[in-house]
């Protein structure tokens, strides 16, 4: 029962207190890619803690090692000689963590399929009303509103409206196109799908809601940083300003949109990356976070 209580308290802290601390921090906007990893680490850590807590509640006197041993024997495989003898509840209880993991993975798969269907429908429309531009390596869409967005996936597509061609200079357009291609090359749609799946699986959880909102914003900032490697800040900032009112189709990433003003403030303000030692510590923590519940759940059985 003690491991179950410890895991429940850990999950509660990760699910409620950790997102508050991360939201109040200033460093995520200075290192968005690292912040995305931190949010993902918290989400995985919460899921693992919840799964292991369910196991320990089902078998209060058992250890995870016994349950895994029983599951392996049940599958007809061998286990090391010192493994504890599995009880009648160990095998079913060992399945509980797997069910939690499978449900989360199923949510992820549904989000990927849902977004893929939306992109496929939109691509079908673009094939009818848009025209391909070899020079831009994009599809041009007749629309007054300035907009540039990408449809990632197996057949990625960058879309530029005629309104954007009218108001953006050549340098601004190049910067925005690099921003969109950063989304495609970074496979940001999969990261966002994971955040959406976690939010749908745990709608009531502050961590899930914050992770979804922040991941979307941070991925845009990460794409901004990729574009800024080749373009001046003022150029990309001006382009974002022109497209701040644009909307994004489902399953797509857009350079403009409702978060453009926050990104403009970040882009034009003082920009100092966190110290390398701090970045290393955060990266290490993001990797270690999912392992902490495993240590709590398995430690009694290792003694």
Q: Could you report the per-residue pLDDT of 3-41, keeping only the tens digit for each?
A: 788 888 899 999 999 999 999 999 999 999 999 999 999
What's the domain range around 150? Answer: 2-302
Task: Report the pLDDT averaged over residues 138-164.
Answer: 92
CA–CA dist 237, 222 (Å, integer): 14
- What residues have CB less than 8 Å from 183, skipping those under 6 apart? 150, 152, 189, 219, 223, 253
Structural domain tally of the chain? 1
Residue 196 above 60 pLDDT? yes
pTM of the model as a whole: 0.85
Q: What's the CA gap between 69 and 235, in Å, rounded?
A: 60
Please report which confidence band the pLDDT of residue 172 belongs to, taking 50, 70 and 90 as the band edges. Answer: very high
Mean pLDDT of 245-265: 79
Sign of the dihedral defined by the CA atoms of residues 200, 204, 206, 209, in that order: positive
Secondary structure, 3-state, 246-293: CCCCCCCEECCCCCHHHHHHHHHCCCCCCCHHHHHHHHHHHHHHHHHH
Give yes or no for residue 303 having a pLDDT over 80: no
In the predicted model, what is the mean pLDDT of residues 230-257? 84
What are the pLDDT digits (tens) for 58-106? 766 555 554 444 444 433 434 444 445 555 555 565 676 677 778 888 8
* pLDDT of 210 strictly over 70: yes
Average pLDDT of the segment spanning 33-57: 91
What is the rounded distance in angstroms from the CA atom of residue 240 to the CA atom of residue 74? Answer: 58
- Does residue 100 contact residue 50 with C-beta atoms inside 8 Å? yes
How many Cβ atoms from other residues are within 10 Å of residue 159's Cβ?
A: 23
pLDDT of residue 60: 62
In this predicted structure, what is the pLDDT of residue 99? 78
In this structure, are residues 177 and 156 in contact, taking their beta carbons and an 8 Å threshold?
no
């Amino acid at each position: 029962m003690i491991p179950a209580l410890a895991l429940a308290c850990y999950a509660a802290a990760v699910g409620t207190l950790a997102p508050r601390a991360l939201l109040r921090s200033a460093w995520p906007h200075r290192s968005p890619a690292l912040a995305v990893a931190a949010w993902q680490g918290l989400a995985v850590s919460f899921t693992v803690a919840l799964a292991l807590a369910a196991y320990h509640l089902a078998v209060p006197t058992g250890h995870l090692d016994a349950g895994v041993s029983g599951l392996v024997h049940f599958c007809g495989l061998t286990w090391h000689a010192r493994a504890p003898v599995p009880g009648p509840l160990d095998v079913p209880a060992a399945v509980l963590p797997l069910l939690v993991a499978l449900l989360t993975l199923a949510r992820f798969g549904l989000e990927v399929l849902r977004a893929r269907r939306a992109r496929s429908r939109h691509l079908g429309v673009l094939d009818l009303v848009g025209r391909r531009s070899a020079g831009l390596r994009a599809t041009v869409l007749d629309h007054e509103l300035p907009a540039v967005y990408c449809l990632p996936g197996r057949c990625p597509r960058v879309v530029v409206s005629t309104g954007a061609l009218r108001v953006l200079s050549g340098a601004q357009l190049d910067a925005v196109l690099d921003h969109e291609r950063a989304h495609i090359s970074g496979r940001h749609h999969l990261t966002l799908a994971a955040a959406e799946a976690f939010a749908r699986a745990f709608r009531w959880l502050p961590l899930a809601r914050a992770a979804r909102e922040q991941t979307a914003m941070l991925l845009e900032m990460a794409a901004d940083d990729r574009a800024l490697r080749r373009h001046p800040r003022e150029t990309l900032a001006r382009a974002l300003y022109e497209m701040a009112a644009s909307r994004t189709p489902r399953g797509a990433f857009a350079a403009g949109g409702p978060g453009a003003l926050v990104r403009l403030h970040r882009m034009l303000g003082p920009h100092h990356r966190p110290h390398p030692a701090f970045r290393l510590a955060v990266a290490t923590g993001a990797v270690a976070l999912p392992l902490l519940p495993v240590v709590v759940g398995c430690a009694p059985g290792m003694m």
